[in-house]
Homo-oligomer: A and B are copies of this chain.
């Protein structure tokens, strides 16, 4: 199956719809996704407010006021901030007011304190104001009934501020998809213990769990599962019962002991939907669907596992989370060396980005040794796709680098 065919099958069969909503405290909504449009049930500001410290007046009482011919008004009281005003301004009157306080009845503008002089009850105004000057009108920021945030919005500091302004202390957001992550393979052992001869530490449960977080999911650590049918089946059943999706690694190559595909396929219908993909690396990747729950089985090689996760599993997690499905961010660069494609397979070349002397951004292939190299993960900034119908991309050609870091 070609890479594009595999992507199509996954997209069509899995149809990643949001998994549902939950209502959580506003203070915990950062980076979550709104499930519904937010329509204001109040005017903001809820009353005409002064935007300055000074005096609330009838604008017409100040007309013609200048440095040499101040308007003379009578101070009839004070409007406190945070309280409904008890004052009614009549012709020739003014009320002391501070920023944010409600404009009292009868007044339609505010003069700034800098443009006044006060002697007891007498106020001299040295600058005329127009109607509504220094007043923020009721509803001028948000009107009752106005839609201020759309369903699907990712909540950040500004949007959370808007929800607070409307009086919300909770918000309805999409559920976070729970993704069980496990590794298998007789050579893999959990870190933290002394390394037995012939074994290597499990990397993928850790790197894939972090990648699940980065995609907007909640990883559930299931560790290393022994490479036999009984254990694997039990672990997968447990994973499927507690999670919305499963990501495994290891046990999918063509070796004689690779039970993963057959075990996954036996767990329920429709079973395997992708069994091997014409890509390099990552050829033995399989994808199954058990009921509505996808199981992605990645190769054991850490770089391949993380790469195929980004290419195939990440968009599904984003869909389940109600998030926009974003590809990895892409930057343009120049190939620093010739990059070969594997015959008939879409090839992904891990590259590191460097600026050359003339300031060009160069994509330098990272020496992977074998695809099992772990340091490739830490050294590479992203990857370049070489199409299956091309022999190579030559040094000096323009390439698009898909960034894996901070993605």
Q: Which residues of the partner chain B approach A148 to less than 8 Å between Cβ atoms?
A: 375, 378
CB of A83, distance to nearest CB on chain B (Å): 5
A156 CB-CB contact with B under 8 Å: yes
Residue from B81, B141, B158 within 8 A of A405 (CB atoms): B158
Across the interface, which residues of B come within 8 angstroms of A53, CB to CB?
A: 253-255
Contact of A187 with B81 at beta-carbon distance under 8 Å, contacts A161-B204, A165-B203, A372-B100 already known: yes
Residues of chain B contacted by A99 (CB below 8 angstroms): 253, 255, 300
Assembled-state Cα–Cα distance A159/B211 (Å): 11
A327: interface (CB < 8 Å): no
Residue pair A378, B201 in contact (C-beta under 8 Å): no
Cα–Cα distance between A192 and B169 once the two chains are bound (Å): 5
Contact A98 B47 (CB under 8 A): no
Which B-chain residue is minimally distant from A164 (CB atoms)? B206
For the complex, give the distance between the alpha carbons of A372 and B142 in Å.
Answer: 12
Binds B, one of A38-46, A66-74, A117-125, A315-323: A38-46
Distance of A205 Cα from B165 Cα, bound (Å): 11
Contact with B along A180-192 (1 / 0, CB 8 A): 0000011111111
In the assembly, what is the distance between CA of A257 and CA of B100, in Å? 12
Contact A186–B378 (Cβ < 8 Å): no
CB <8 Å contact, B375 and A141:
yes
C-alpha gap A205/B125 in the complex (Å)? 37
Report A133-186 residues with CB < 8 Å from chain B CB.
136, 140-142, 148-149, 155-169, 185-186
Contacts A202-B164, A213-B30 known; A257 to B98 CB distance under 8 Å? yes
With a cutoff of 8 Å between Cβ atoms, the chain B residues found around residue A168 in the complex are 191-192
A200 neighbours in B (Cβ, 8 Å): 44-46, 100, 165
A19 lies within 8 A of chain B by Cβ: no
Complex interface residues of chain A between 176 and 233 (CB less than 8 A to chain B): 185-193, 195, 197-211, 213-214, 219, 221
Chain B residues within 8 Å of A374, by CB:
44, 141-142, 161-162, 165
Q: Write out the residue numbers on chain B whose beta carbons fall within 8 Å of the beta carbon of A206.
A: 26-27, 160-161, 163-164
Question: Is B187 within 8 A of A82, CB to CB?
Answer: yes
Known: A30-B210, A167-B195. 16 other contacts (CB 8 A): A26-B191, A30-B213, A82-B187, A84-B198, A85-B198, A98-B253, A98-B256, A99-B255, A140-B369, A142-B374, A142-B375, A156-B406, A157-B207, A157-B377, A158-B378, A159-B378
Is the CB of A404 closer than 8 A to any CB of chain B?
yes
Q: Which residue of chain B lies nearest to A256 when distances are taken between CB atoms in the complex?
A: B98
A26: chain B residues at CB < 8 Å are 191, 206
Q: What are 16 of the A-B contact pairs (CB < 8 Å)?
A: A30-B210, A80-B186, A81-B255, A82-B186, A82-B188, A99-B255, A141-B375, A148-B375, A149-B378, A157-B211, A158-B207, A161-B378, A164-B203, A164-B206, A167-B193, A168-B192
